[in-house]
Structure 1
Amino acid sequence: MDVATIAVLIHISIEILVIMRVILRPHRQPTSRLAWIVVVVTLPVLGILAYLLLGEVNIGRRRVARMQKVFERLPKLSCKICPEEAFQTQIPDKHDHLFRVGCSISGYSPVGGNTAQLMADSNATIDRMVEDIDSAEEHVHLLFYIWLPDHNGCKIMDALKRAAARGVKCRAMADDLGSRTLIKSSFWNEMKAAGVHTAVALPIGNPLLRPFMGRIDLRNHRKIVVIDHSLTYCGSQNCADPEFLVKPKYAPWVDAVIRFEGPVARQNQHLFISDWMTQVDEDLSALLETPIPPAEAGFPAQVIGTGPTVRFSAMPEMFESLIHSARRELVITTPYYVPDESMQDALCATAYRGVDTKIIFPARNDSRIVGAASHSYYEELLEAGVKIYEYEGGLLHTKSLTLDGEVTLIGSANMDRRSFDLNYENNILFYDSALTEKVRERQQEYLASSKEVTAEAVAAWSIARRFWNNTIAMLGPVL
């Protein structure tokens, strides 16, 4: 047997082993298995390498073990089985099941007595954060996926330095990939020198060795601010100017953020502390024991934290539960839409049963790949009666869902496979007609700056465009 024949047999054996691994891998949809098998077979060497590097959600055994130890040390905020008394929070029976889904994901029961305010725009959000940091008395905790050393990014850094100077405990964390510009700059070291405690989320380390210890593209996409136990922010905004200088041609970035006061801040605190203690040898569990008195009047809310070490399919389950629950109106804004089949079917079914279903995308997507994949779903959505709009006032980055004018989900999660499987995300689900109406008004502002996509316009797309869109969407399970 010559060398060439032996090499071929070795390759075939490796290919068979990889295909068996694809088939046996748990928590994978059949379409994903099939797509990866096609890649492995048609691209003999590159396909095998691609699967070994990107085909599995592997964050690394050491990281998983450390996270598990952290969660074991932290006090539980609620019972995992969601006791009945935890749901006596003014949530009507027709929406009760939504919060039970949320509780099953993160273990956080809905808590009443919260008040909140929808921020006017990105700059107003930063200004209010600075004001709150300047008023902090005990601690300030921040976590951002992208934190840039631009005007708004520096305003937050300066506020943290001022707070640290007067004795407030400031902890700032940023994702190693999304915030690499800041982390590698002098600003990061200046914050540390000023007394701000810093940490890097999911550090990459050596990029050549990282793939062998876990996927390099598993990121912490959360945006969390917690101040003095009872104040928190939640939304889509990174710590940056709306001009977003890393991608200026798509600017302005259009985001929505809500400032919450009340017991729900404890749940965001729990998420932040779990992320912090995973990277830093500092036990912050005592901070979760401080009681937070609820407001005399307020609404129920619940944090939903998801990620690759949380239950598989958690985020799509939450989205689909909300979609299926709509009875009169469903309005969604998301910059990235690459759904699985069940989510696409859920949206279509909602429109078919007469619910006024609207979804707003950015007209120009900063990701050509994701934009093409999103467009492949337009025809089916439009046939079902879903109304599609494309926002033309910048890159619509807001991730929001309003349900029947009563329930809202807002946060960091997109409706794409990255948010479903690869990113750590944080969202807040709340029941309050008044605040939901404010979010609806914001969504209506987006609609006023959007162009409706018609079935006729989609039918007029060229064959080449359709071929591109559908090919990219077909690769969705492996992206």
Structure 2
Amino acid sequence: MSILQDAGFLITILNIFLAITVIFLERRSVATTWAWIMVLFFIPIAGFVLYLIFGQKIRRRKLNKLLGSTQRIIEETVDKQKHQLMRHELAFNDPSMEGYRDMIYMNLRTSYALYTQNNSVAIFTDGPTKFDALFRDIEAATHHIHLVYYIVRNDDLGRRLVQALTAKAKEGVEVRFLFDHIGSFMLPSKFFNELKAAGGKVQAFFPSRIPYLNLKLNYRNHRKLVILDGGVGYIGGFNVGNEYLGLNKSFGAWRDTHLRMQGHAVQQLQAQFFMDWNLASAERSELGRSYFPRGEEEEASGAIGVQVVASGPDTEAQQIKAAYIKMIHSAKHSVYLQTPYFVPDESLMDAMLIAAQSGVDVRIMLPDKPDHFFVYWATQSYIGELLAGGVRVYRYERGFLHAKTLVIDGKIASVGTANLDIRSFKLNFEMNAFLYDTATAEQLQRIFAEDMASSYELTMSMYATRPYLNRFKESVSRLLSPIL
């Protein structure tokens, strides 16, 4: 008994010391600090091991990803456009976008998101259609193919993609493939050997120094981008794996949203690719003219206004979250949101509730199937507040909903890689395309309405009858939401 008491005393003292260490290391938010202290309290010692895996802060000085000359050119271009916006010298292809001038300025100021208006956009909502288009574009590429994916599976789709890229590399096309080390953790080491042998370049993003032990589960590259010959770009929610084709029995049909873009917005995808590549690779690639073939003098690909906004743990700004909040506050009639995970902070929750209580038709669509235990139950914990505040909540039943879309008043929209949760806003590297075009926003709004036919509306009376065990899971998960 004396030995157990001594051991308990030592563990208590050590846990207090570790808690103090967490307090001094954590400067992000009070909520995050308290969440980690709670983990330490309920899981002594082991909780600190979890903190080392999940909670370490990234050193931002390592993320100076742009080369000096490139940084200077971008800053000069951004300053020029800021002046045009402030002086009302920028004419909008869609006159109704005049009301979003302040939002465009904010994105430009906080994330260097240049506003371009010569873009065409195709929307994909199912995997087979998206990947068929992607493989056609890969086959047509003549100079380079750049890819960033969070998840790449060693399955039929993953192997087919590598085979297609290998064939292009053998033709002399430059191929660079960046995959996230944790998202694609199950890939065998030889998976890319054939592509590398053909001259393709492959890099893992933020790999663990000690495989299987030194897991870095935060600060992941959650982007899904493809750029082909500097003229065609893909961005959205689809990763690479059979489940994204609807071939996984546990998920069933996979409902996602992805964009294929042409126009000057593709240049922003390209610039972000090189920043990510230079961060992950020993190679320091210059942003040469051959990667940005579309000059101002070339004919426009379309007339859609686009800003591509990147965010990540390398800044404190949380640019995509700020853009979401700005969009919601601008709403006069409707807010339509689709997200697989809904773990908002107070500012985003307030924005949605204020909009609903102001008479705006606010609707959120979530998957009815869980794929992450704690995130699913944390999401459930916020639904009651939404319903009480007048937000309409829909649960998608025909497979798994993975789309990350926001449509405001059928005028502007966002499609990208960021989920509506704290992890996407603060801990992951994300990228969204903000679309300033009535026709495109109306199309996304129609897609939302079509998805409602495959959903059921969750009412307050239905929510109030949920089992007490579910309420317990929600309460525990919500306490952990700042670190999920």
Q: Same fold (TM over 0.5)?
A: yes
In structure 1, the gaps of 5 or more residues are none
**Structure 1's 388 and 175: CA in aligned 2 closer, same or farther, altered over 3 A?**
same
What SS does the corresponding residue of 2:121 show, helix, strand or coil?
Answer: strand
Written as runs of structure 1 = structure 2, the 5 A alignment for 1:399-414 is: 399-414=404-419
TM-score, normalised relative to structure 2: 0.89
Q: C-alpha displacement at 1:235, in angstroms?
A: 0.9
Moved more, 129-138 or 85-94: 85-94
Q: Is the 8 A contact 1:151 1:241 kept in 2?
A: yes
* Counterpart position of 1:84: 83
Moved more, 427-436 or 96-105: 96-105
* Counterpart position of 1:74: 70
* Counterpart position of 2:462: 457
Q: C-alpha displacement at 1:46, in angstroms?
A: 3.1
**Structure 1's 208 and 117: CA in aligned 2 closer, same or farther, altered over 3 A?**
closer
Q: C-alpha offsets along residues 186-224 of structure 1, whole Å, 9 cap, x if unaligned?
A: 44111112222211122123146636xxx4332111000
Identity value in percent: 31
* Counterpart position of 2:202: 198
* Counterpart position of 2:222: 221
Q: C-alpha offsets along residues 118-153 of structure 1, whole Å, 9 cap, x if unaligned?
A: 125211111111111111121111111112233333
Moved more, 357-366 or 141-150: 141-150
* Counterpart position of 1:350: 355
**Structure 1's 86 and 180: CA in aligned 2 closer, same or farther, altered over 3 A?**
farther
Q: Work out which of the residue numbers 361, 366, 375 in structure 2 matches 1:361.
A: 366
**Structure 1's 278 and 55: CA in aligned 2 closer, same or farther, altered over 3 A?**
closer
What SS does the corresponding residue of 2:342 show, helix, strand or coil?
Answer: coil
Q: Is the 8 A contact 1:399 1:412 kept in 2?
A: yes
Distance in 1 of aligned mates of 2:287 and 2:244: 38
What SS does the corresponding residue of 2:406 show, helix, strand or coil?
Answer: strand
1:422 aligns with 2:424: no
Distance in 1 of aligned mates of 2:238 and 2:212: 31
Q: Work out which of the residue numbers 135, 151, 155 in structure 2 matches 1:150.
A: 155
Moved more, 138-147 or 30-39: 30-39
Q: C-alpha displacement at 1:374, in angstroms?
A: 0.7
* Counterpart position of 1:378: 383
Written as runs of structure 1 = structure 2, the 5 A alignment for 1:327-342 is: 327-342=332-347
Q: Work out which of the residue numbers 170, 175, 181 in structure 2 matches 1:170.
A: 175
Q: C-alpha displacement at 1:409, in angstroms?
A: 0.4
**Structure 1's 201 and 48: CA in aligned 2 closer, same or farther, altered over 3 A?**
closer
In structure 2, the gaps of 5 or more residues are none
What SS does the corresponding residue of 1:216 show, helix, strand or coil?
Answer: coil
- Opposite residue 286 of structure 1, the aligned amino acid is G
Distance in 1 of aligned mates of 2:292 and 2:232: 16
Distance in 1 of aligned mates of 2:120 and 2:464: 46
**Structure 1's 89 and 256: CA in aligned 2 closer, same or farther, altered over 3 A?**
farther
Written as runs of structure 1 = structure 2, the 5 A alignment for 1:297-312 is: 297-312=302-317
Moved more, 243-252 or 90-99: 243-252
* Counterpart position of 2:279: 278
Distance in 2 of aligned mates of 1:173 and 1:162: 18
* Counterpart position of 2:166: 161
- Opposite residue 148 of structure 1, the aligned amino acid is R
- Opposite residue 63 of structure 2, the aligned amino acid is M
Q: Is the 8 A contact 2:156 2:242 kept in 1?
A: yes
Distance in 1 of aligned mates of 2:452 and 2:67: 42
1:46 aligns with 2:46: yes
Distance in 2 of aligned mates of 1:378 and 1:348: 11
Distance in 2 of aligned mates of 1:131 and 1:48: 49
Distance in 2 of aligned mates of 1:154 and 1:268: 25
Moved more, 383-392 or 165-174: 165-174
TM-score, normalised relative to structure 1: 0.89
Q: C-alpha displacement at 1:379, in angstroms?
A: 1.1
Aligned length: 469
Q: Is the 8 A contact 1:277 1:284 kept in 2?
A: no
Distance in 1 of aligned mates of 2:230 and 2:104: 23
